[in-house]
Amino acid sequence: MKVGVYGAAGYAGQDMVELLLNHPHVELIFATSSTSAGEIVPNTDLRYVPAGDVTMTDADLVILALPHGASAVAAKQAVDNGVRVLDLSADMRLDTAESYKQWYDLDHPHPELLDAPYGLPEINRDALRNVQKVAVPGCYPTTTLLGLYPLLAMDALDANAPIIVDAKSGVTGAGRTPKPNTHFVTVHDNLTPYKTGRKHRHVGEIEQEIAKITPSHGILIFCPHLLPVARGLMASIYVTLNHRITSDRVHSLYTNHYADEPLVNVLPLGVDAQLKDAVLSNHCTISITPVTDHQVHITSVTDNLRKGTASQAIQCLNLMYGFEETLSLI
Distance of CA 272 to the CA centre of its chain: 22
Is the overall model pTM greater than 0.85, yes or no? Answer: yes
The DSSP secondary-structure symbol of 236 reads E
Which residue numbers in the chain have pLDDT < 70?
173-186
3-state secondary structure of 203: helix
H-helix or E-strand containing 103?
helix 97-104
**CATH number for the domain whose boundaries are 2-116:** 3.40.50.720
Q: Which CATH architecture has domain 140-303?
A: 2-Layer Sandwich (3.30)
Q: What is the pLDDT of the chain when averaged over all its residues?
A: 95
d(CA 292, CA 301): 23
Among the listed residues 139, 223, 284, 316, the single catalytic one is 139
Q: Are 322 and 304 in contact (CB under 8 A)?
A: no
**Sheet with 233-240, side-by-side order of all strands:** 192-193, 220-226, 163-169, 233-240, 295-302, 284-292, 264-266
d(CA 312, CA 142): 9
d(CA 320, CA 330): 18
* 223 tagged catalytic: no
Residue 181: per-residue pLDDT: 61
pLDDT tens for each residue of 35-60: 999 999 999 999 999 999 999 999 99
250 CB-near residues (< 8 Å, 6+ apart): 150, 151, 241, 288, 290, 296
d(CA 22, CA 326): 12
Residue 276: per-residue pLDDT: 96
Residue 188: per-residue pLDDT: 76
Residue 216: per-residue pLDDT: 85
Report domain extents, the chain: 2-116, 140-303
d(CA 92, CA 118): 8
d(CA 287, CA 277): 11
| Sign for the pseudo-dihedral over CA of 282, 207, 191, 146 | negative
The DSSP secondary-structure symbol of 41 reads P
